[in-house]
Amino acid sequence: MNHEKPVTLYLVVRAEDKDRMRPLMRLIINQLVRVLLRPEITYKDGRPMRPHRHRLLLMLDEFPSYGKLEVFQEALAYIAGYGIKAYLIAQDIAQLWGAYGHDESIVSNCHIRIAYAPNKIETAEWLSRMAGAATIVKEDITQSGGRFAAILKNVSKTYHQVSRPLATADEIMRLKAPAKDKGDIITEPGDMLVFVAGHAPIFGTQSLYFRDPVFLARASLPPPPGNSPIGAAAIPPFRL
């Protein structure tokens, strides 16, 4: 974060080594958070100044699989002041509850939450409660008169307001999934829900990186030299 030319660090663990490498990954994440939060924040004109030269996007896929990270759960509330933005990915809320319990504070400290069609009803019900309720006007019509009469004698209409979930659990579980071809390649995006603190829920469409010229150009970059098990030993050590 303080180098003249910022770089991107990828830590990739193969599926068969996930359990074996979990202690090491926990140690690395713990050390990253502690070292990057070490500098003191200074103030200028009453506003806090970031202590690092560059900002950092900390992306953690399958976040609950690392187990409960006490230091990360506490630091998530104030790492934004250090120029760090966390991007956490989990399969469903039950997976997060399994690692941090029902009283977890991870979701509370996430300014933006994005959800796709869940597979568990517990996650769908939780998302439905997050979406809130909408007020709709219901019309009741009462008719009376002869069955075969040309004109009904009495027709009365009553309007009253009722509350309805903005998105029911059933509707959330039926969010459109991405369309795929015979080769299991995504061809069309699916739907998603976006929750931003202080704003109304957003019903949106997924963004496919291979249709975005900026993201496609980044994904097409070749790996740097030595980025293999054979050449990994030639990479010089670095310090945070």
**pLDDT class for 227, splitting at 50, 70, 90?**
low
Closest-CA residue to 239 (of 79, 6, 84, 32): 32
Closest-CA residue to 27 (of 14, 11, 6): 11
Q: How far apart are CA 77 and CA 101, in angstroms?
A: 18
| Predicted pLDDT of residue 231 | 37
Q: Which helix (H) or strand (E) holds 48?
A: strand 47-49
pTM for the whole thing? 0.79
Kindly give the pairing relationship between strand 42-44 and strand 47-49.
antiparallel
pLDDT in tens, 143-202: 776 666 666 667 788 888 888 899 999 999 999 999 999 988 899 999 999 999 999 999
Residues 6 or more apart whose Cβ sits within 8 Å of residue 73 = 100, 104, 105, 106
Residues 6 or more apart whose Cβ sits within 8 Å of residue 145 = 151, 152, 153, 154
pLDDT in tens, 33-69: 899 988 888 888 888 888 888 999 999 999 998 899 8
